[in-house]
Structure 1
């Protein structure tokens, strides 16, 4: 395994353990997600800083705020990796209030607000909030049974692009039509298509690379998840990395994680573990990524896009897990 990937994997495990030590009663799905937020930002998780951010969150939000639901720990982690947690949360809450004018409250709306607050200029918040709703309405019109609150986070990412709405929606639909026969879950395919629409290039080429990654992993005995894991595979497909190199790196990272406590037979499932291996490997290709739509470009923006996609997806899984365990 490359030294850089080894270092990143070790930091990921270290961050997960520190977060779990300080927040022992959170949903198990959230620890690796938050560890990934720190690791992809090249930060070490610190219990004192995280708890300080929790305090800030409690000061600025009410008991029943969506920011204090299942998504609280990821939001706190994003605050912690920012230079000014207070200001980062204040900007996010300002965007959230704008989004609430057009969206019902959900676990995912705070994620949309986080993405916009990190990537947009403050003077553009109102415009982007309106555009997020416009894009979401187009999604809903095309797929009324599939589109839900989870998609508001992806609509927010798409609203930051300078591609016209029509081009974004067309790109999503082209990807969806190509990919749907290959996967069972229409909802997961829609999420994957939304991620692919962020990148440049022909839909057929982006989908072909996504399927090549999936198939090559499967051929090597590493079955990639076909549910909320798919958007991460899409981000990998948008990089300029060679399919064989990406797959080889993912296999080595997955093998490393499999030997760590909590990622073996009785911990995080194989498919979720492979997804995190993909996220950690992805950093190898960030400098050469092809997310070159005007607002979504560069290493920082790609990390933010990944965070938002993962927060929405993992929050859905965590919420489902919590619901089933309490029923």
Structure 2
């Protein structure tokens, strides 16, 4: 494994252990996401700033708001890692919340992350048109896959809206991936959305994605559809085939670490994909390619959405098990 990536992983583990002590009552997966976010941005983790931001969010939202609970930590952490004045940015998010709902987006646990995605990809007067375009894209997606498309696609529809990609093009990725052996489902839909950031030929990038999947499988890192997003992040950048090797090495290293092993291979591959993708983007920032700039912004929104969905699934299954007993 490249030394720079090993240092980054070791620093992430050290930060996680620190966050674990400071936020004992938060879900451990949230703390892993926080450690990843701050290492990616090379920012100093500030417990007091985040705690104050959580209090601010609670003061501006109702008791049943989806911005509370799990989302309050995620949003507070993301805003504090990105902005000097996170309170001002959250106020902007509240303004944008009304615009999202007016356009047709439903109030749900997925809306806070979608709203954050809107915040980091929009400027002032362009928000209204972006929201309208994103909802139109979401509706088209739902027409194609009514049983797969739901609130967890809100953030991606916002990220994709700037590309003016047609749903028929996104569907080409979906069908091509399915023909290569990827099982149909929500995970495949997310992967096809991520790959549609690219301007490359559909066949070229989907075959690259399949090679990445096979490489993981060869190294006993087979992932299921919930974590197909990791393949998308790497495939968008890996024209030379070197990033896939980094992905394997980092994921294997994470699997050996006590605090990461329990997360499972899929989540570790997802974390590894974020680390190696960002490393590649940082190493090639002089290229100034649009895909790299956009993907750098999109990575944290994608991982945030995946983290929220995973925690929601764990919470739901735990509640169901308790009810059954």
* TM-score, with length taken from structure 1: 0.89
Give the structure 2 partner of residue 169 of structure 1: 167
Query: Could you tell me how far apart the structure 1 residues matched to 2:215 and 2:68 are?
Result: 40
Task: Say yes or no: does 1:308 pair with 2:301.
Answer: yes
**Residues 51-106 of structure 1: per-residue CA shift (max 9 Å, x gap):** 12212212222222211143222211111112221122122222222111211111
Query: Could you tell me how far apart the structure 1 residues matched to 2:292 and 2:85 are?
Result: 21
Give the structure 2 partner of residue 148 of structure 1: 150
Task: Say yes or no: does 1:212 pair with 2:238.
Answer: no
Query: Could you tell me how far apart the structure 1 residues matched to 2:32 and 2:109 are?
Result: 18
Equivalent residues in 2 for 1:21-40 (5 A)?
A: 21-40=21-40
Give the structure 2 partner of residue 285 of structure 1: 280
Secondary structure, counterpart of 1:228 in structure 2 = helix
Task: Say yes or no: does 1:324 pair with 2:314.
Answer: no
Unpaired segments of 5 or more residues in structure 1?
Answer: none
* Structure 1, 316-325 or 1-10: larger mean CA deviation: 1-10
Distance 1:185 1:67, change over 3 A: farther
Give the structure 1 partner of residue 122 of structure 2: 120
- Please say if residues 50 and 80 of structure 1, whose CA atoms lie closer than 8 Å, have aligned partners that are also in contact: yes
- Please say if residues 232 and 306 of structure 1, whose CA atoms lie closer than 8 Å, have aligned partners that are also in contact: no
Deviation at 1:285, TM superposition (A): 1.4
Deviation at 1:199, TM superposition (A): 1.8
Give the structure 2 partner of residue 251 of structure 1: 248
Task: Say yes or no: does 1:7 pair with 2:7.
Answer: yes
Query: Could you tell me how far apart the structure 1 residues matched to 2:142 and 2:187 are?
Result: 15
Deviation at 1:235, TM superposition (A): 1.2
Give the structure 2 partner of residue 190 of structure 1: 189
Query: Could you tell me how far apart the structure 2 residues matched to 1:34 and 1:209 are?
Result: 30
- Please say if residues 27 and 322 of structure 1, whose CA atoms lie closer than 8 Å, have aligned partners that are also in contact: no
Distance 1:113 1:234, change over 3 A: same
Distance 1:253 1:111, change over 3 A: same
- Please say if residues 176 and 206 of structure 2, whose CA atoms lie closer than 8 Å, have aligned partners that are also in contact: yes
Query: Could you tell me how far apart the structure 2 residues matched to 1:203 and 1:291 are?
Result: 23
Distance 1:241 1:45, change over 3 A: farther
Secondary structure, counterpart of 1:263 in structure 2 = helix
Deviation at 1:21, TM superposition (A): 2.0
- Please say if residues 93 and 116 of structure 2, whose CA atoms lie closer than 8 Å, have aligned partners that are also in contact: yes
- Please say if residues 229 and 270 of structure 2, whose CA atoms lie closer than 8 Å, have aligned partners that are also in contact: no
**Residues 107-137 of structure 1: per-residue CA shift (max 9 Å, x gap):** 1111111011112111111111111110000
- Please say if residues 233 and 273 of structure 2, whose CA atoms lie closer than 8 Å, have aligned partners that are also in contact: no
Task: Point out the structure with the larger helix share.
Answer: 2
Query: Could you tell me how far apart the structure 1 residues matched to 2:292 and 2:259 are?
Result: 33
RMSD of aligned Cα (Å): 2.0
Equivalent residues in 2 for 1:94-133 (5 A)?
A: 94-101=95-102, 102-133=104-135
Distance 1:4 1:189, change over 3 A: same
Query: Could you tell me how far apart the structure 2 residues matched to 1:138 and 1:197 are?
Result: 15
Query: Could you tell me how far apart the structure 1 residues matched to 2:105 and 2:139 are?
Result: 11
- Please say if residues 180 and 186 of structure 1, whose CA atoms lie closer than 8 Å, have aligned partners that are also in contact: no
Give the structure 2 partner of residue 56 of structure 1: 56
* TM-score, with length taken from structure 2: 0.90
